[in-house]
Amino acid sequence: MADPIQLVPGNSLITPTAEEGRQLAIKMARLIIKATQPDAAVREKLRSIYAQDATMLVLIGQTVATEFATIAAANSYWKK
């Protein structure tokens, strides 16, 4: 249903820096929500719930941490 949404920006987990890896983790987490709820108006309404609710914020942090673990491993932790 949500197939046209691009789920991995740039179709790659590789980023030049840890900072950009972290940004990618946030984007990938958001794109799963977009794929599950493609209606932008509904998402906008839910976004204000996320941002005002302590539990939501912490659960989003948990998801980003999990995505970032994968991205960091893909980049060998950006070690030189």
Q: Is 76 left (phi over 0), alpha (psi -120 to 50) or beta?
A: left
Closest to 68 in 3D by CA, of 4, 20, 3? 20
Q: Is 67 in the site for a second copy (CB under 8 A)?
A: yes
User: Any contact of residue 3 with a second copy (CB under 8 A)?
Assistant: yes
Among 4, 18, 40, 41, binds a second copy (CB under 8 A): 18
Nearest Cα to 38, choosing from 67, 65, 79, 5? 5
Give the footprint of a second copy on this chain (CB under 8 A): 2-3, 6-8, 11-14, 17-19, 21-23, 26, 28-29, 32-33, 35-37, 39, 42, 46, 49-70, 72-74, 77-79
